Amino acid sequence: MSTTTKAKPKSKKKKAKPASAFHGIVLGVFEDIGPIARYKKTRLPLDVVNLMVVHGMSAVHGGEEMLGGLFGPLPIFENANLRYLIYSFNVKASNTKDSRIAEHGRVCSVFLILKEKQERYVLNNLLTIEKILNDMQVKKWKKELDITKDSMLEILDKVNKIVKIKIIRVFGYGDAGLIEYEDPQLILDEGILSIIDMKKEKIYMHLPQEKFDSKQRIKAVEKMEEVNLREYGSRLELVKYRDYVKFKKILDKYAIQLVK
């Protein structure tokens, strides 16, 4: 008697999650006793979160008038690698013994915690981030109890989707000075090329002696060191190649195509 065996279904490969510019989200609320963190989705310790909420809400609401809208990035003093945006607004208070809060509403602040090394990508999307927060406030956050955990996670998900992070950056140095390519996968085969891998924190430079004199090579290195200092605090390791065959392996690794 023959038997048949059912083929096992192929397991689907999990797609890698895209890199995120944000470390988390926190809801700060000005309670009757002062500002507190009511909700947090972050690995930061609670004492650090509480200090951030107090500092942030005091900075934005320290004067006589309440300031609404999006502010920052501001530093998290207890963590030099992180910053935060703060979005402040008023909602109808659900339960208060403070007559001023009952009359004028509860001051709330959404804290979007971002990674310092991804700050440039967040800054490029500030207007869109503020629009997402404005829409949530106008459409869903009418009163204090409307600001739920699910709505906070919805905000975090939306801002993560619109802030696109490049894993690599590609620069060329030539007669026009230092330029950065918008599309790092398709670049001109001219000038001194540099590739930044932000995950590995390395700068790969091709410095062929037969094509560029020592003055040009030194100037190109100086320009990339300036980028490293200005945007990465000199964290990146500079790796130099003179042999094109070895540098070609780097180009192939990142699927970078040279166009003549």
pLDDT score of 16: 38
Convert the pLDDT of each residue in 27-39 to its tens digit. 999 887 888 999 9
Phi/psi at 112 (5° precision):
-100, 110
CA 202/CA 235 separation, integer angstroms: 8
Name the percent of the chain in helix, strand, coil, to the closest 5: 35, 30, 35
CA 171/CA 182 separation, integer angstroms: 9
Domains of the chain (ranges, CATH numbers): 22-162 (3.30.450), 168-259 (3.40.20)
Please report which confidence band the pLDDT of residue 18 belongs to, taking 50, 70 and 90 as the band edges: low
Residue 250, CB-side half-sphere exposure with 13 Å CA sphere:
24
Convert the pLDDT of each residue in 215-259 to its tens digit. 999 999 999 999 999 888 899 999 999 999 999 999 999 889 898
Which tokens is 77 given? 């003093």
- What mean pLDDT comes out for the span 82-91? 93
Which tokens is 109 given? 């602040």
Convert the pLDDT of each residue in 106-120 to its tens digit. 889 999 999 887 888
Taking CA atoms, 74 is separated from 12, 36, 50, 81, 118, in Å, by 42, 18, 15, 12, 14
pLDDT score of 63: 55
Model-wide pTM > 0.75: no
Please report which confidence band the pLDDT of residue 62 belongs to, taking 50, 70 and 90 as the band edges: low
Which tokens is 65 given? 């008038």
Percent of the chain with pLDDT over 90: 54
